[in-house]
């Protein structure tokens, strides 16, 4: 059973007292604590920083539907795609930090955007992660007619001919690209990275013979290609094997540190959102992820076995910043 993190009563008390104190300083607007305790009393807006139809959008709309049932309030989902997810984040941060405007974030992308040396309109201190909804690992796959029988043969060929194998990745600063960059720098195994905009382009490139392999999110479309025999999985990005992909982890075939290319989709709020509101949202996501109908819609294989609440989600972001920051800032 998944473990649920609930906000400690002492922390709630401190939060409420702090809110009351702030209200006194503002000349009597002391209703903030009561508003947090009654949350939610109105519609909630949930921004999706990517286009409709993808895994981020699916996660957002599924969890929004469950939240509506739990809260008895409408959750309005709005796609604000663009700038690698930064547009949606900016839209959320432009609103009041009261819990009525949220965003679905995709980590590592949301965490790496501010590290790229460009002004994306936010930093990783400007938002608070609430809870993960789905977790999708990456898979290294080749086509059905590839010359590589397994991961060992593939990586041996890469070592014998540095840069001679082309691998499609979903963008130059994604976790897939970062992990393969680390593979070259830390393990002397160099692959030539070919960036694409997403799974559809990468799939067409592999099936058309334009790349030798892809390192791709193992979303349902990719699993379908594996099941059909069009993709042959060689390795997965998780620390441990997954039961729905017949391939070993990279960590077991010579790359023990390459375990970060796992996309986590979850809710976030502006950093100053009251802690009691964050706790309410966190508990509600946990409740939703225990519902069979929600799990079925998300895909059982993608729902974390152990609930990833605020603290664990923040730890994941901190790890991504620590590992990928030096690479992106070079």
List the one residue out of 314, 274, 265 whose CA is nearest residue 88: 265
* pLDDT tier for residue 4 given thresholds of 50, 70 and 90: very low
What average pLDDT does this structure show over 257-265? 93
CB-based contacts of 329: which residues, under 8 Å, 6+ apart? 115, 116, 117
Tens of pLDDT, residue by residue over 106-153, are 999 899 999 887 789 999 999 999 999 999 999 999 999 999 989 999
What average pLDDT does this structure show over 243-271? 96
pLDDT at 33: 65
pLDDT at 26: 44
Find how far residue 12's CA is from the centre of its chain.
28
Hey, where are the domains in the chain? 9-135+262-328, 137-252
Return the exposure string of 245-254: e unless at least 16 CB atoms fall within 10 Å of the residue's CB, then b: bebbbbbebb
Tens of pLDDT, residue by residue over 60-106, are 999 999 999 999 999 999 999 888 789 999 999 999 999 999 999 99
Q: What is the mean pLDDT of the chain?
A: 88
pLDDT at 30: 36
Instruction: Please tell us whether the domain made up of 9-135+262-328 is placed in CATH 3.20.20.70.
Output: no
E strand or H helix at 326: helix 310-328
pLDDT at 13: 38
pLDDT at 89: 94
Question: SS3 of 263, please?
Answer: strand
Instruction: Please tell us whether the domain made up of 137-252 is placed in CATH 3.30.950.10.
Output: no
Is the pLDDT higher at 317 or at 4? 317
**Taking the chain, what is the end-to-end CA distance rounded to the nearest angstrom?**
42
Q: Do domains 9-135+262-328 and 137-252 have the same CATH topology?
A: yes
The C-alpha atoms of residue 146 and residue 32 are separated, in whole angstroms, by: 61
Tokens of 276: 């009691």
Question: SS3 of 112, please?
Answer: helix
> How many CB atoms within 10 Å of residue 270?
21
* pLDDT tier for residue 51 given thresholds of 50, 70 and 90: confident
* pLDDT tier for residue 181 given thresholds of 50, 70 and 90: very high
Question: SS3 of 139, please?
Answer: strand
The C-alpha atoms of residue 201 and residue 216 are separated, in whole angstroms, by: 11
């Amino acid at each position: 059973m998944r473990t649920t993190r609930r906000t400690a009563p002492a922390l709630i008390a401190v939060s409420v007292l702090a809110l009351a104190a702030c209200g006194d300083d503002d000349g009597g607007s002391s209703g903030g604590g009561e508003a947090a305790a009654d949350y939610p009393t109105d519609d909630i807006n949930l921004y999706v920083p990517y286009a409709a139809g993808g895994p981020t959008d699916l996660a957002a709309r599924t969890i929004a539907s469950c939240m509506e049932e739990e809260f008895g309030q409408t959750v309005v989902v709005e796609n604000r795609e663009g700038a690698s997810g930064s547009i949606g984040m900016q839209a959320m941060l432009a609103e009041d930090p009261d819990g009525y405007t949220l965003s679905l974030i995709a980590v590592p992308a949301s965490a790496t955007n501010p590290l790229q040396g460009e002004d994306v309109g936010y930093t990783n201190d400007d938002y608070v992660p609430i809870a993960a909804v789905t977790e999708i690992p990456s898979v290294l796959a080749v086509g059905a007619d590839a010359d590589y029988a397994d991961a060992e043969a593939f990586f041996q060929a890469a070592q014998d001919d540095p840069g001679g194998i082309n691998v499609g990745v979903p963008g130059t600063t994604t976790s897939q690209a970062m992990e393969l960059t680390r593979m070259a720098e830390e393990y002397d195994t160099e692959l030539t990275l070919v960036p694409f905009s997403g799974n559809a382009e990468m799939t067409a490139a592999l099936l058309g013979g334009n790349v030798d392999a892809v390192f791709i999110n193992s979303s349902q479309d990719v699993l379908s290609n594996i099941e059909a025999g069009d993709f042959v999985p060689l390795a997965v990005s998780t620390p441990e094997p997954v039961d729905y992909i017949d391939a070993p982890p990279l960590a077991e075939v010579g790359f023990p540190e390459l375990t970060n290319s796992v996309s986590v989709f979850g809710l976030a709020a502006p950093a100053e959102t009251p802690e009691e509101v964050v706790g309410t949202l966190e508990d509600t996501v946990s409740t939703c992820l225990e519902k069979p109908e929600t799990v079925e819609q998300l895909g059982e294989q993608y729902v974390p076995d152990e609930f990833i609440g605020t603290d664990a989600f923040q730890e994941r972001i901190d790890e991504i910043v620590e590992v990928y920051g030096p690479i992106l800032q070079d």
